[in-house]
Chains A and B, each alone.
Chain A
């Protein structure tokens, strides 16, 4: 908890809105200089968590420390050490690029002696040189996001909170944005990033999978792919995918079956053992299998596997 190498720590963090539990006892430790991904579907509690960490929402229970300060009792000290990009674009559309930058530089009390240099640095980083006098509202989505990041880092905060920073941005701009994040992380900045894009999660040093307010898995992308699955993954290619998946869900030894593109992904306990059994099973039912082999799971497989087991646990409880 008090490890100075941790930028963000939470302990049993809870946020309740009336009867709805948005965040349900989350424990985390984010290390300095880490790009930490917070992955989960919409409504899983990602934004609520990030807002608590920025001191914008008061936790219902539990505690969180950001840059060594408690978010509930010292929100102002927290705010001096963070940069925040909210999910919805929230700079002023009726101000120009330079006016937005000057405003936030002023609000972050950037010293006058370095003001011009910081603004130029932010403009260069965001690739907005020469666009200073454009009205922010007229910029394309990717530029707006980079400007928002620029405004959030003018004071060189040690910790960045980015809430779905790339939603609604085209893939190329998204890639550029992640390059920016990694450049800053290389300089020692901690980035706490939420996303629901699986391919983006691969860019993170470590990932937390969050589902229905709970932390369901935590680790590096490769650790998650290796350990978080509750079995092994089989890829099946055949005709009539929809018939096959219905049958396979009832087949012995199959824990989960889902469609991935033109193939089916099956979660089984032991791939080697199951392969001949399942080939037999499908053949008997008149489905010719073109290909069946063990594959290494993607993050999406991990996520589907982890969340479906959470759902099952939830249903059993009822």
Chain B
């Protein structure tokens, strides 16, 4: 192992990156694009859901109930229906996600001491959203219902001014319930995948494609020197991108950062070693740029996107998928990211995530050193 030979390899790689607009674009612009895309574009919050009211009763009480819907920040009444057809049209056209149907005998039944049901027709094309909408509607009706009850009881001399038991909620870690705070830290895993696996898979496959690898391996440079020389610049770039991405998250999107920067950079370094090794491994096997880049995205970017807990909670996945996520390094990295950003969990309590991540980085790095031989064919 010669440091000089590794160094000239690394230097050559840096010169090539600096001369290639495509690489530069990916290194500098891509992290910013990803954070902004996920920071603004993906919003899992459901607020101001458009709905149509069909008030068959037209009484003081029915209007009261509908005002509760309108006053809630979750719903906006966008129209009034006078027939079932009106309601159906609004749902079909997508102008409303829900139709609230207050029955004709609503006030009559209430005066007689109930019970009476209010109908909610929900567009369930997106089942997740439908569940959320349904939950909000129930909560609004529940509140109205208990108010009616309290009124009735006060009228009969009840000592209670308010409902006797209520829930007082405090949200921790993500106090404002912003989905961007939940999503943005995980973007780092995507950025690392692109820098680590996608770019490196291209750089080695390119050498095979252009024939430069043949010249390279005819010199005394060792396989290890080639590998380290090639990966070192991308490691540095990955760390720089960690800083860029984290800065945009913290200073632009105001995502709270409560953990330690040491843990952030240490876990990023480990994940980076994982994806760099995978990228190297892939391009040694694929030997052409197109195949290598496709496989790299498939093996690193997609799992980091779909199965890491970045957007979709792992606990809600089918058991088989949950089991698969255990062998995905991205899962542990995303978990660490969310905990150090939002919770500020100290490193000592992150061992369940950091240990597997460290193990993956060591094993994959060793495998990568074994994969490359200075032979043609």
Query: Which residues of A line the B interface, CB within 8 A?
Result: 17, 51, 54-58, 75-76, 79-80, 82, 84, 86, 88-95, 99, 102-104, 106-109, 148, 151
Query: Which residues of B line the A interface, CB within 8 A?
Result: 2, 4-5, 7-9, 11-12, 15-16, 19-20, 210-222, 374-377
Known contacts A106-B8, A107-B8, A109-B4, A86 near B211 by CB under 8 Å: yes
Given contacts A79-B218, A89-B211, A95-B16, 20 further A-B contacts (CB under 8 A): A55-B218, A56-B217, A56-B376, A57-B377, A76-B220, A79-B220, A80-B220, A82-B218, A84-B215, A90-B214, A91-B212, A95-B12, A99-B12, A99-B15, A103-B8, A103-B12, A106-B7, A107-B219, A109-B220, A151-B215
15 A-B residue pairs with Cβ-Cβ distance under 8 Å, sorted by A, are: A56-B375, A76-B220, A86-B215, A86-B218, A90-B211, A90-B213, A91-B212, A94-B19, A95-B12, A95-B16, A103-B8, A106-B4, A106-B7, A107-B220, A109-B2
Find the residue from B212, B219, B222, B374 having the highest chain A CB count within 10 A: B219
Q: Is there contact, CB below 8 Å, between A88 and B12?
A: no
Q: Shortest CB–CB separation between residue A38 and chain B, in angstroms?
A: 17
Q: Is there contact, CB below 8 Å, between B375 and A107?
A: no
Q: Is there contact, CB below 8 Å, between B20 and A94?
A: yes
Q: Give the residues in chain B near A91, CB-CB below 8 Å.
A: 212, 215
CA distance A317 to B9 in the complex (A): 52
CA distance A102 to B7 in the complex (A): 12
CA distance A58 to B217 in the complex (A): 14
CA distance A183 to B375 in the complex (A): 31
Q: Give the residues in chain A near B375, CB-CB below 8 Å.
A: 56-58
Q: Shortest CB–CB separation between residue A255 and chain B, in angstroms?
A: 40
Q: Shortest CB–CB separation between residue A109 and chain B, in angstroms?
A: 7
The residue on A at minimum CB distance from B225 is: A107
CA distance A75 to B223 in the complex (A): 13
Find the residue from B7, B20, B220 having the highest chain A CB count within 10 A: B220
CA distance A17 to B376 in the complex (A): 12
CA distance A86 to B222 in the complex (A): 19
Q: Shortest CB–CB separation between residue B206 and chain A, in angstroms?
A: 10
Q: Is there contact, CB below 8 Å, between B212 and A79?
A: no
| 8 pairs of A and B residues whose beta carbons are closest in the complex | A106-B8, A84-B218, A90-B215, A107-B219, A90-B211, A88-B211, A107-B221, A86-B214
CA distance A76 to B4 in the complex (A): 17
Q: Give the residues in chain B near A148, CB-CB below 8 Å.
A: 215
Given B2, B16, B222, B374, which contacts A92 in the complex, CB threshold below 8 Å? B16
Q: Is there contact, CB below 8 Å, between B219 and A95?
A: no
Q: Give the residues in chain A near B5, CB-CB below 8 Å.
A: 106-107, 109
Q: Give the residues in chain A near B216, CB-CB below 8 Å.
A: 107
The residue on A at minimum CB distance from B7 is: A106
Q: Give the residues in chain B near A56, CB-CB below 8 Å.
A: 214, 217-218, 374-376
Q: Give the residues in chain A near B214, CB-CB below 8 Å.
A: 56, 86, 88, 90
Q: Give the residues in chain B near A75, CB-CB below 8 Å.
A: 374
Q: Shortest CB–CB separation between residue A107 and chain B, in angstroms?
A: 4
CA distance A18 to B25 in the complex (A): 43
The residue on B at minimum CB distance from A77 is: B220
Q: Give the residues in chain B near A90, CB-CB below 8 Å.
A: 210-215
Q: Give the residues in chain A near B19, CB-CB below 8 Å.
A: 94
CA distance A122 to B377 in the complex (A): 31
Find the residue from B213, B215, B216 having the highest chain A CB count within 10 A: B215
Q: Is there contact, CB below 8 Å, between B2 and A51?
A: no
Q: Give the residues in chain A near B221, CB-CB below 8 Å.
A: 107
The residue on B at minimum CB distance from A76 is: B220
Known contacts A57-B376, A82-B218, A102 near B8 by CB under 8 Å: yes
Q: Give the residues in chain B near A79, CB-CB below 8 Å.
A: 218-220
Q: Shortest CB–CB separation between residue A35 and chain B, in angstroms?
A: 20
Q: Shortest CB–CB separation between residue B181 and chain A, in angstroms?
A: 42
Q: Give the residues in chain B near A51, CB-CB below 8 Å.
A: 376
Q: Shortest CB–CB separation between residue B25 and chain A, in angstroms?
A: 16
CA distance A51 to B376 in the complex (A): 9
CA distance A104 to B376 in the complex (A): 19
Known contacts A103-B8, A106-B5, A54 near B220 by CB under 8 Å: no
The residue on A at minimum CB distance from B12 is: A103
